[in-house]
Amino acid sequence: MVSRTHIFLCSKYFNISKTSNCIFQNISKTSKLFYCTTVDIVKNKIPNTDIKKNNDTFNNMDHSEKLINTIVIENNKNIENNNTKINNELEQLHNIKFLNVNDHNLNDSLEDINEKLPGPFDRCNEDLSHIEPYITPTYNFAKFADQSNTIQQLVKLGVELYKLERDKEVIEMFLSLDFDKNIKPYIQFLSDCGVTPENLGYFITRNPKIFKEDIDDLYTRIRYLRYHNFSVKMIESIVNKHPPWLSFETREIDKRLGHFQHIFKLNGDQIRILTVKCPKLITYDMRRIKNSTFAVTEEMGFNKFETRNILLEAPRVWIRAKTEVVKTFDYLHNEMKISHTFISREPKILICRKSRLERRHKFLVELKRNQYDPTKPLYVSLSNLISGTDIDFCEKIAKQCNLYCIYCT
């Protein structure tokens, strides 16, 4: 078969396309002649560049020529892949030789190290204070006191961190804040609002989450008070007395002030006096405030005028536990025979514990000085009855300092 093909190729007049068809039909693809013939045909007939540029010419070729071109392209790809593999192998061999050449240098450098490692019982003169054991998630600030500048600065300000450790969210917040970048602007704001440096620690202890509030919102809450005719001194008193005030939204504060003004028929001056005297009452739980209002008006029987006077003079009656207030009132009204009018004039006595009030009243009964009517002589004020220490009460109210030991026992 090979001789026939050779004679056919050597003929004078022959057709290249027919010759290629004959080769592909009669010669095995594994033969060297097959490979050489395809390359020569492509070189003489259609180069690779022309195939890429002229797709129309490729489409017009007959079946055999298309087959030849496809095979040539695949062979070229295989040749390129083989060249790439060869280059990679050469680079690897070169690296191995380089390592073998410099292997003695590496061994020499290791031999130069003659440092003797310390034994387990040798004295250690190195500072190892930076080394600390791994500690699982903690719930106090002690672990971070040495590394955190924020914690150190808060301690200097007088913040009672041990009171905040129960709240894991507060611990994570302080550890994530940078003192100069995140805390200083708030301290400057509080200073502008009248919080003195010695009171900063108390303020942050009572309201540590103020650092989560937007600084613009805090300015808005101060401007709201100024808009409703609160003076600068009033605002300073509110912020210093009740730090959580600034964490309430303006709408919520406005709603609560409106509630007290509507229920107790207060004018503008009265609502401002109430806010300054007891800002905690404005932000207190509204459900408990309504329960206390019901107790004062319905259970104790005070009228609207008396209730308003109690609110303005002793607003903490609404904060104290309702049951304790009712017990104190019951003893005043039923045991001591004090009228609603006298109680409403000196309402602070409702805040006193029943046990303290009972003990002092019985002491005056023994001395026959239990006179609480202001229109009669030897009058004892209800406010004086519960104020001061036991010594002051014996000396100034009972006028019997030598009976103090009997009173105490």
Three-state DSSP at 278 gives: coil
Please give the share of the chain, as a percent, with pLDDT higher than 90: 48
Q: Write out pLDDT tens, residues 81-120.
A: 766 766 676 666 555 554 454 454 545 554 555 667 777 7
pLDDT at 124: 80
Average confidence (pLDDT) over 251-262: 95
- By the 8 A CB rule, do 407 and 361 touch? no
Q: Residue 43 pLDDT more than 90?
A: no
Alpha helices in 61-206 (DSSP H): 63-101, 103-111, 149-157, 168-176, 184-192, 200-206
Q: Residue 188 pLDDT more than 90?
A: yes
Domain locations in the chain as residue ranges: 140-212
pLDDT at 94: 56
Average confidence (pLDDT) over 18-27: 50
Positive or negative torsion for Cα 24, 25, 26, 27: positive
37 or 138: whose pLDDT is higher? 138
287 or 168: whose pLDDT is higher? 287
Give the H or E element holding residue 193. none
pLDDT at 35: 46
Cα gap 213→182, rounded to integer Å: 11
Mean residue pLDDT across the chain: 79
Q: Residue 382 pLDDT more than 80?
A: yes
pLDDT at 5: 46
Q: Residue 299 pLDDT more than 80?
A: yes
pLDDT at 399: 74
**pTM, 2 dp:** 0.64
Average confidence (pLDDT) over 183-198: 93
